[in-house]
Structure 1
Amino acid sequence: MHLPSLLQALAWACSAVAQTYPATVEFDVVFPRNETYAPTTLMPLVFAFRNSPAWIPLIPLLEWSIRILPTGEFVDYGATDLAWGINTTTDPYFKFVSSQALTVEGNYMLVWTLAYGNCTADPYSDFEILDIDYLHVNDTTNHTSFSIAKGAQAVDLAAASSSCPAQQGMALNVTTALKVGVTEEWKRRDVCGVLAHQQPSPKPCALQLDTAAASSIAAALTASACSAPHPRYTGPCPPKPTQSTSAGTRTRGFATARLTSSAGIAVLIIHALVFIGLVCSF
């Protein structure tokens, strides 16, 4: 495992341990909004998970599709399992993908379904650990309507409207988290969230992307589209590094760099373990 991945995993594990309940979590569609946009070869789809550490025991799964109105014909779809995919060191956590199917004028609908776990305590047991009979999965489906038209505003993540319908989000009250005995049945997570009977109203448009975050997301989506094995994206791509530069970077001082890097990584791992142990102890 690379050092960044290890540190990230340790930090995420710590966040899961340190999370306190009750807690409120929220899922929002940040982009697109219920507006009209110019045709584009790369439409961002940006989703937000607020209070990200408290999402961990809910093992969320996000599915989305884009459909033509009024026929309901599918033009694009995708799914992301976020049981281990939410970065709890970032709040809110933004999950973003893109669609290259919105170059034609018309009315569209982004349909999303979020599946999330819920568990109930065993009334006949004094133990907190749950078996499969007390683990459940709920889901919520909703949609955002938008249009594509020539001459309309260009896609701009930072300029999204501050008003939008409530169906662009959902919120949950997590009362506590219980231990799971059969982790294989819970995507190898060892905790399960207990949801309240009544859920709060979401505030999806209270979340705005600043210019820096919008630029970072746009750059990441462009880079991903340009590096796809069989790219359909026809827009501008960042320049690729030349072969000579890449080779020189890889080979210069290889033996020394490898030894120094290995020693440095070992020291950093030790420091990281100590640091995260201290943080988790509070």
Structure 2
Amino acid sequence: MHFKSRAAWSLLVSLISLGTVSNAADSGVLEVDLLFPRNETYAPTEWMPFVFAVQNTKLAKYLVPKINYEGWNVSVGANNSNGAGFSYSHDNLQWANWSSEDPYFVHHFHADLPEGIWRLDWEFWYSSCNEDWTDFTSVGDPVNRNRTLHSVTFTIKEGGQVVDVVAATADDKTCSKENAAAVNVTGKTQGVPSRLDMPDNTCAVVGSPQPTPTPCQVKVDSAVAASMTASLRAELCNRTADRPDDCPKDNAAQGLAVAGLACLAAGVGMLGFLA
């Protein structure tokens, strides 16, 4: 009987703690910046990179961040009826190893964008908790999904500059202060029971109003750029069809190469995809 009472008390304490605010997390400003492309004219390229940076990554875990974007060739209209548009979602950032690097680079390559004027709309999503929500039996969801919207226009045209992420991020004059988002993370967290989409059933409490971002601080060096290119090549060579002719023929060796490149990408804090 004594054991049952103690177990019941432990369960009650755990349930109560799920709805309380704590100061278990770090505080500060998390920032997301679009590093590339910029409002420039680029020469046609087989693979166009889209690169973001997350700064102060230790704050990202309980925000469950997500980056979505879509682009279309405004030279041929906004309805994308000719297939000139594209969209992509980095919706698996909640599984990222945020402790691996700061800043954390998120990138994606898109193939064979035709010449024209392109508009890229991107949005940064994150979760936050209502600090006043303290009772797990209350009606309503304590978790809010928030987003910020941004846009950049770039041109693809013969005679434009060669696509070079290292050179672009080294030039502060081409950096748009509008293409960044910032979140004030208070360090307080809220327990949210039965929410498998939230790490440790925990949600961050953010401050208001949101701070002004300080973009143009992150640079992509040659090592990071090489890792992005290497991850692209590894993905292409790992395909069963349309593989580059100079990929390794040995499947076992290819598997080791892909694993090695994955480790390299993780080592520089980078998540990459292609389409």
Residue from 166, 178, 184 that aligns with 1:158: 166
**Larger relative contact order (Cα-Cα within 8 Å, sequence gap ≥ 6):** 2
Q: How does 1:6-21 map to 2 (within 5 A)?
A: 20-21=25-26
Counterpart of 1:49, as a letter, is V
CA distance in 2, matches of 1:85, 1:183: 21
CA distance in 1, matches of 2:127, 2:119: 26
Query: How many corresponding residue pairs?
Result: 224
Q: How does 1:1-282 map to 2 (within 5 A)?
A: 20-69=25-74, 71-74=77-80, 75-81=85-91, 82-102=93-113, 104-122=114-132, 133-160=141-168, 161-163=171-173, 164-184=175-195, 186-231=197-242, 239-242=247-250, 246=253
Alignment deviations for residues 54-108 of structure 1 (CA, whole Å, 9 cap, x no partner): 0111101211111112522441111122122243221111111111141x21100
Alignment deviations for residues 131-170 of structure 1 (CA, whole Å, 9 cap, x no partner): 9632111111111111001011111111103232222111
**SS across alignment from 1:184:** coil
Structure 1 alignment gaps of length 5 or more: 1-17, 250-282
- CA root-mean-square deviation: 2.9
CA distance in 2, matches of 1:124, 1:213: 44
Aligned-residue sequence identity (percent) comes to 30
CA distance in 2, matches of 1:131, 1:56: 26
CA distance in 2, matches of 1:26, 1:200: 10
Q: Report if the CA contact (8 A) 2:103-2:218 is conserved.
A: no
Q: Report if the CA contact (8 A) 1:180-1:192 is conserved.
A: yes
1:229: Cα distance to partner? 4.5
CA distance in 2, matches of 1:98, 1:131: 43
1:241: Cα distance to partner? 4.1
Q: Report if the CA contact (8 A) 2:166-2:221 is conserved.
A: yes
Deviates more, 1:177-186 or 1:151-160: 177-186
Q: Report if the CA contact (8 A) 1:52-1:86 is conserved.
A: no
Counterpart of 1:141, as a letter, is L
When you count helix as a share of all residues, which structure comes out higher?
1
Q: Report if the CA contact (8 A) 1:131-1:181 is conserved.
A: no
Q: Report if the CA contact (8 A) 1:47-1:96 is conserved.
A: yes
Q: Report if the CA contact (8 A) 2:43-2:158 is conserved.
A: yes
